[in-house]
Amino acid sequence: MKAIEARDLVRRFGDLIAVNGVTFDVEQGEIFGFLGPNGAGKTTTINMLCTLLRPTAGTARVAGYDVCTQPAAVRRSIGLVFQDPSLDEQLTAWENLRFHAMLYGMQRSDFERRAQELLAMVELADRTHDLVRTFSGGMKRRLEIVRGLLHVPRVLFLDEPTLGLDPQTRRHIWDYIFRLREKENVTIFLTTHYMEEAEHADRIAIIDHGRIIALDTPENLKATVGGDVIHVRTSDPTRAVERLRTRLQVEPRVVDGVVMVELPQGERMVPQVVQVLSNGDPPLEVQSISLRRPTLEDVFIKLTGRAIRDEGADSMARMRMAVRSRRRH
């Protein structure tokens, strides 16, 4: 049995097609990542898999149960960390966790042990009995994660779990997730904007405009980007592309004004690139040049010609906005 089987899932909101025929399988015990830009349809897919939204078309099974006809059985098998805030701010951290445990029918002793362990992990042990209203954005996020991990589900959905958290906390949470998988064989489905977080996944689906445009292990995906990626900033990107194309027989692209070239053995090519650009007529000024191993971002750029963007500080701002804006599911 697969942990998740999605077949041609479609969800429309009026005229908008948020998810447009998505098909994939997730094995038990696998960590499966959804990577894609804002509005790609990641959360909508999760909501359908978690029985919060009915699919417009298509079917899905989670832990062997059909999400349309057996929603109760699906809900008994899953855990979920939402992208948007979903804590009760008028309650204390402990009360939020206790109500979760009650709704999930946890034994009291189990609940207390795990709650304390998890609160210590995210360094909230000393704020246990404070009202959530008095927490900072990052503290609320950590508490949401604790709540999602509290009962041990068979399939755990994490929608941008570590959005806006500091690297140390993110590492702790990932250590915990790995241990959880080791000990309990929990299947993990996550969406993320952080490239290095996506690397933790066994397999990744890249999703854009409601469709999966690539699905493979992170290594295989990166291998599709032939070699290394050289980034060049110059005074005239259009001319630079033209010249690199004719003189070096490569296919550069421009993303946000930066010229990007994929080359095998990139470090050997850097001097040539500089030479070609600055020795032509007119000479182009090379403002900066860098070389890196391909990342998943490069994979996305190769597939769509656009950057995923939205990292670091940007995500933090987005999370704050989500806290403030009255978003509906």
Partner 1 sequence: MSWRHELMAVYTIWLRDVIRFSRDRTRILAALGQPILFLVIFGVGLSPAISDLGGGELDYTAFLFPGIIAMAVLFTAVFSAVSIVWDREFGFLKEVLVAPVSRVSVALGKVAGGSTVALFQGVLMLLLAPLLGIPLTPAQILVLLLLMWLTAATMTSLGVLFAARTRSMEGFHMIINFVMMPVFFLSGAFFPLRGVPLWMEWLARLDPMTYGVDPIRQVLLQHRVSEAVLATLRLYPIAVDVVVLIAFWMLFLVPAVWAFARTE
| Residues lying near partner 1 in the complex (CB under 8 A) | 50-54, 72, 75-76, 78, 80, 82, 84-91, 95, 99-100, 102-105, 147, 326-329
What's the token pair of residue 253?
Answer: 């692209």
Query: What, of ligand ATP, Mg ion, partner 1, none, does residue 36 touch, CB below 5 to 8 Å by kind?
Result: ligand ATP
Give the count of beta carbons closer than 10 Å to the beta carbon of residue 140: 22
Strand bridging mode 211-216 / 228-234: unpaired
Contact 10, 57 (CB under 8 A): yes
Q: Is 43 in the site for Mg ion (CB under 5 A)?
A: yes
Neighbours of 190 (CB within 10 A): 25
- The residue among 88 and 184 lying less far from partner 1, judged by its C-beta, is 88
Q: In what order do the strands lie in the sheet with 253-255?
A: 253-255, 258-263, 228-234, 286-292
Cα 53-151-160 angle, rounded to 5 deg: 50
Q: Can you tell me the distance from the alpha carbon of 306 to that of 133, in angstroms, rounded to the nearest whole number?
A: 39
In the stretch 30-69, what mask flags binding to ligand ATP with x, by CB under 6 A? ------x-xxxxxxx-------------------------
Cα gap 228→141, rounded to integer Å: 36
Closest to ligand ATP by CB, 43 vs 96, is: 43
Cβ 162 to ligand ATP shortest distance, Å = 14
Residue 219 tokens read as 């290594």
Smaller CB separation from Mg ion, 38 or 90: 38
Shortest gap between Cβ of 86 and ligand ATP (angstroms)? Answer: 14
Is 13 among the residues that bind ligand ATP (CB under 6 A)?
yes
Binding mask 81-120 for ligand ATP (x = CB under 6 A): --x-------------------------------------
The site for ligand ATP (CB under 6 A) is made up of: 13, 16, 18, 36, 38-44, 83, 328
